[in-house]
Homo-oligomer: A and B are copies of this chain.
Amino acid sequence: MARTILSSATKEVAIGFDQPFVMIGERINPTGRKLFSKELKEFNYWRVKKEALAQVEAGAQVLDVNVGVPLADEALIMSEVIPLIQGLTDVPLCIDSSVMDALESGLKAYKGRPLLNSTTAEEEVMERILPLVAKYDCAVVAISNDDTGISEDPDVRFEVAKRIVNRAADYGIKAEDVVVDPLVMPVGAVNSAGKDVFRLVHRLRTELGVNTTCGASNIAFGLPNRHAINNAFLPMLAGAGMTSAIVNPLHEGLVPAVRAADILTGNDAGCANWIKAYRPAPAEGESGRGRGGRGGRRGGGRRRG
């Protein structure tokens, strides 16, 4: 049973078949955000801090950190924001870049065991990324495309994922440290996109024994009322066997949807996390012992430590 162990200096999070679904917060990412990009270029990190705290407060168990801005010194920025975020929160991080130097400077600065985002099955990419994963003994996101691009055929994507897992093994990287992203197509363009990914996740879990993740919101690309699609998609992914996803935990309803899925897959023993997050606040004058002032807010509150 695959268990991907991520950690910070003081906290461990396991991605696994018998674990609560891991939400990796996606908000530390300047893509398409003008102000955020400008601030990063000027080494101004207030928004990084704000997004980190808000996502952890909302329920993210891991934070993705992407500081990719064209023409900026991404390696330097990464080396600065990693310790900054680790000083603010104890959740493990996912170091996310398409720039080799930025990945390595992030790994150097990181305390604990991060998730590296990402490799594909492209030969050149695997040759650069996998030695890094081995050297720093971290976990890695493996995206199911190769030098020929992204296949619409989920069975081809399965084979591509298998190739990465096998190649990783050549570097001494265990399958449990490869978290496969099966790639989610927009269902507005590919009508079978939902079904395809559910079947693919099931195969990855049962045949390869690996954990899985995805950028879930791609499913709803181009459709109206996108959040409602995402909020249904995540429980369905969890039901199909997916074990983590890169999401925006600030979107209304998303965190409760994922936590409800944990109850329903049997991965929230005794519904303890659920009850902790959502039990009603005590009435005025009633004893609030052991609850904390905010833990009981309906629809909000914190999950763990």
Q: A187-B271, A235-B235 are in contact. Are A264 and B194 (CB under 8 A)?
A: yes
Q: In the assembled complex, which residues on chain B have CB atoms less than 8 Å from the CB atom of A299?
A: 225, 228
Are A265 and B187 touching (Cβ within 8 A)?
Answer: no
Q: Is A54 an interface residue (CB 8 A)?
A: no
CA distance in complex: A266, B193 (Å) = 8
Chain A contact-residue range equals 35 or more
Are A231 and B231 touching (Cβ within 8 A)?
Answer: yes
Q: In the assembled complex, which residues on chain B have CB atoms less than 8 Å from the CB atom of A112?
A: none
Are B195 and A265 touching (Cβ within 8 A)?
Answer: yes
Within 8 A of B (CB), among A263-303: 263-266, 269-271, 274-275, 278-280, 298-299
Q: Is A256 an interface residue (CB 8 A)?
A: yes
CA distance in complex: A298, B224 (Å) = 8
Partner of A187 from B253, B264, B280 at Cβ < 8 Å: B264
Q: In the assembled complex, which residues on chain B have CB atoms less than 8 Å from the CB atom of A266?
A: 191-192, 194-195
The smallest C-beta distance from A276 to any residue of chain B, in angstroms, reads 10
What are the 8 A-B residue pairs with the smallest beta carbon separation, nearest first?
A: A194-B264, A232-B260, A225-B278, A228-B256, A232-B235, A236-B239, A224-B278, A229-B260
> Beyond A228-B257, A229-B263, A236-B238: 17 further Cβ-contacts under 8 Å?
A187-B263, A188-B271, A191-B271, A193-B264, A194-B265, A198-B239, A223-B263, A223-B278, A224-B279, A224-B280, A228-B253, A228-B278, A229-B274, A232-B235, A232-B257, A235-B236, A236-B239
